[in-house]
């Protein structure tokens, strides 16, 4: 039987932590595990690319909430 | 008058072999430091555009000094770069979106709203075969985004336009948590360094997201 999936989850600016999640985690379950909600100015990224909340995660994936910034 | 001696960087960026014009549209925080970095790197043909004047709240995170208060940013910047680097910058103190320009070479787009980015992209840059590279920079207090694309490349155009969210969709930080010099200099340095990669023919990432808290850089291409 496969063990938990190790993923890093976080929000920038903020913090990123590693979690071991049982079963087949999705982006949504990973964010919930980390206690994060997608804010209205956030983009969800997995390993740098845009991702849907129902995307499945694998070992060593990095889930980030990144703000849509506009300043200069 | 003496000139800067670039021999310690020649294998990274050679000013004598770089003939392109570089335009910096918007010389607030990011744009002013990008222009300064380009001049320090030895870029000779620098054009800067900004209608704003220097205000005291600009001084902590932009290159301007106390003596520049009330001056046009582009004039203060031109004077500063002439004194520090011996570079004669061409300056336009107008809104680019309202003008008529023929851009070529490398463009740094550093304006402070998504609406202005879209306007300038649509009017001057999209599918412009004379523009070799667009480097578009966005910044929050501790996060920056840098897009580096060829405006005449179909894939670049298609994917870049997907990143042009609206001003309403963008984060509006509190006035006291909007910008700080340390973030500005990191983002400006990464953005300006892309000119050295361009000259050396090194592949560059299309999107770079930089976080200073926690320290993290993610990139992607398409």
User: Could you tell me the domains of chain A?
Assistant: 5-67 (3.10.20.30)
**How confident is the prediction along chain A (72 residues), in pLDDT tens digits per residue?**
678 999 999 999 999 999 999 999 999 999 999 999 999 999 999 999 999 999 999 999 999 999 999 999
Quick check: B116 contacting A, CB < 8 Å? no
Interface ipTM: 0.91
Q: What is the DSSP letter of B7?
A: G
Q: Is pTM beyond 0.90 here?
A: yes
Laid out side by side, the sheet with A49-50 consists of: A15-21, A5-11, A62-67, A42-46, A49-50
pLDDT at A1: 60
- Please report the residues numbered 58 through 97 in chain B whose beta carbons come closer than 8 angstroms to any beta carbon of chain A: none
pLDDT digits (tens, 9 = 90+) for B49-92: 999 999 999 999 999 999 999 999 999 999 999 999 999 999 99
Q: Measure the CA–CA gap between B119 and B121, rounded to whole angstroms.
A: 5
CA B22 to chain centre: 9
Q: Chain A residue closest to B210 (CA)?
A: A12
Instruction: Answer whether B28 sits within 8 Å of A72, measured CB to CB.
Output: yes
Instruction: Answer whether B138 sits within 8 Å of A66, measured CB to CB.
Output: no
Quick check: A67 contacting B, CB < 8 Å? yes
Quick check: B179 contacting A, CB < 8 Å? yes
Q: Chain A residue closest to B26 (CA)?
A: A72
């Amino acid at each position: 039987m496969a063990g938990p999936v190790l993923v890093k989850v976080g929000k920038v600016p903020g913090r990123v932590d590693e979690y071991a999640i049982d079963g087949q985690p999705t982006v949504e379950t990973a964010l919930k595990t980390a206690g994060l909600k997608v804010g209205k100015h956030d983009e969800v990224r997995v390993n740098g690319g845009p991702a849907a909340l129902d995307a499945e995660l694998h070992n060593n994936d990095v889930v980030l909430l990144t703000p849509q910034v506009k300043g200069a | 008058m003496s000139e800067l001696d670039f021999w310690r960087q020649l294998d990274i960026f050679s000013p004598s072999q770089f003939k392109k014009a570089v335009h910096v549209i918007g010389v607030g925080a990011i744009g002013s430091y990008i222009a300064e970095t380009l001049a320090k790197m030895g870029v000779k043909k620098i054009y800067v555009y900004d209608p704003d004047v220097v205000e005291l709240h600009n001084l902590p995170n932009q290159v301007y000094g106390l003596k520049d208060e009330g001056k046009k940013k582009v004039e203060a910047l031109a004077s500063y770069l002439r004194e520090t680097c011996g570079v004669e910058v061409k300056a336009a103190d107008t809104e680019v979106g309202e003008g008529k320009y023929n851009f070529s070479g490398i463009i740094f787009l550093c304006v402070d709203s998504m609406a202005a980015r879209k306007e300038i992209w649509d009017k001057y840059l999209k599918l412009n075969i004379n523009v070799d590279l667009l480097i578009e920079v966005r910044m929050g207090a501790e996060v920056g985004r840098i897009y580096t694309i060829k405006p005449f490349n179909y894939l670049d155009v298609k994917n870049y336009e997907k990143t042009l969210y609206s001003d309403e969709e963008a984060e509006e930080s509190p006035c006291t948590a909007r910008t700080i010099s340390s973030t500005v200099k990191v983002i400006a340095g990464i953005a300006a360094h892309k000119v050295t990669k361009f000259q050396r023919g090194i592949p560059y990432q299309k999107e770079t997201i930089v976080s200073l808290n926690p320290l993290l850089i993610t990139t992607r291409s398409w």
